[in-house]
Amino acid sequence: MVAAHYDLRIEQGAHYERVLRLSNQDAGAPLDLTGCTVHAQIRVRHGAPDPLYELTTANGRLVITDPAAGLVRLRIPADDSVTWAWRAGVYDVELVDAGGRPLRLMKGAVLVSPEVTR
């Protein structure tokens, strides 16, 4: 399965949320997320040593809302983005299935529109 390309455009200081509907591209059926975890990192560029931001099921930034339907909520609270000094990066989202196998789901650019009003 090839990772889907989707660029994230985030308004700094505003709550950001997207529902991801994950499916098996070959079969067209929802991807069963039972027993899976999901994580993502934003980095300034590919190969950069440290992430700028992390989203995981453990920290609540990625929430599997309906495992059978392949639904995951991606959320970045306003309190997090308000502190960002960076304006652009790259990201990807990986799923780890119940057997420990990773699968790259999404990738793209992250563009942050700086906040003016505080």
Question: Which CATH number covers residue 76?
Answer: 2.60.40.10
Residue 70 confidence (pLDDT): 92
Residue 19 included in any domain: yes
Domain range holding 10?
4-113
pLDDT surpasses 80 at 118: no
Residue 70 included in any domain: yes
pTM of the model as a whole: 0.90
Q: In Å, how far are 6, 44, 108 from 2, measured between CA atoms?
A: 13, 23, 13
Residue 23 confidence (pLDDT): 82
Mean pLDDT of the chain: 93
Residue 118 included in any domain: no
Residues 64-93: what's their mean pLDDT? 96
- The count of domains in the chain is 1
